[in-house]
Amino acid sequence: MRLLIDECLDERIRHSFLGHDCQTARYAKLAGIKNAELLAAAESLGFEVLVTVDQSIPHQQRLGGRNIAVLILCAPTNRLRDLQPLVGKALSALDVIRPGEVVRVE
């Protein structure tokens, strides 16, 4: 699965998603792009899931009908040490996530 790591996350988290094509927003040349524009750009590049900590996306964006899903990591901070314990659940969520869905991992 093609994953886009939002720029609000520690870029090193990409190494935790073994078995997936995982790129950071900076590497994909999408840094600085926000919200609907980011989702559209990510879709156009073939990303299937946006991995983020931005819990406001589902309230700000209409995801129905999109070809991309959003996986939200809900941790106390966006530091790698706080996100790392969520990776196992995140990998399980990737097995069932579908386009247009939002899945929160706590």
Number of domains composing the chain:
1
pLDDT(53) > 90 = yes
Please give the biggest Cα pair distance in the chain.
34
Nearest-angstrom CA–CA distance, 61 and 74:
18
Per-residue pLDDT tens for 15-52?
A: 999 999 999 999 999 999 988 899 999 999 999 999 99
Q: When comparing pLDDT for 70 and 56, which is higher?
A: 70
Please compute the mean of the pLDDT values over residues 61-70 and round it to a whole number: 89
Q: What's the confidence (pLDDT) of residue 91?
A: 98
Is the pTM higher than 0.85? The answer reads: yes
Domain residues for the domain of 88 are 2-105
